[in-house]
Amino acid sequence: MSLEELFKEIIIEHYQHPKNQGHLEHPDAKSDGSNPLCGDEIAMELIFDGNVVRNVMFTGNGCSISQSAASLITEAIKGKTIEETRTIMNEYKNMLAGKEYNADILGDLEALSDVKRYPARVKCASLSVAVLDQALQQKK
């Protein structure tokens, strides 16, 4: 199996069987966003334990890229500090922009690396990071 095929399988798996989908009781932060051009919608809720993302859940509707990205991102940040979460977000943004990035930091998020070849789809893959960033700003 090629790397490209593996990446496609990861995206399909997270779209068909999303991780961390649903709501949290008494979230510490929550945010939502949409891409009006294509109809993608993402909402995220987070619970912190000090400076650590103890739990994160998302809800949403949209294309396979936006929904699998939300699932992958929530998996990547669960249990990470806010600083580690921001590092993951920055590396992810670099990847989508076609810049140099650290694949070790991204883990399975790298499955979305080919999205950069389709500029219209970059917004789909970026929506959950924008929503996550808004939610993190609520943490004082």
Taking all residues of the chain, what is their mean pLDDT, rounded to a whole number?
Answer: 94
β-strand pairing of 29-35 with 40-49: antiparallel
- Which of 15 and 78 is assigned the larger pLDDT? 78
Interacting residues of 82 by C-beta distance below 8 A, sequence separation 6+ = 48, 51, 52, 53, 136, 139
**pLDDT of amino acid 140:** 65
Which CATH number covers residue 23? 3.90.1010.10
Domain carrying residue 124 = 3-136
Q: Count of CB atoms within 10 A of residue 118's CB?
A: 11
Tally of structural domains, the chain = 1
**pLDDT of amino acid 60:** 96
Instruction: Tell me the per-residue pLDDT of 74-87, one tens digit each, with 9 for 90 and over.
Output: 999 999 999 999 99
Residue in 128, 126, 137 with CA at minimum distance from that of residue 48: 137
pLDDT band, residue 56 (cuts 50/70/90): very high
Residues 101 and 91: beta-carbon distance below 8 Å:
yes
Predicted TM-score (pTM) above 0.75: yes
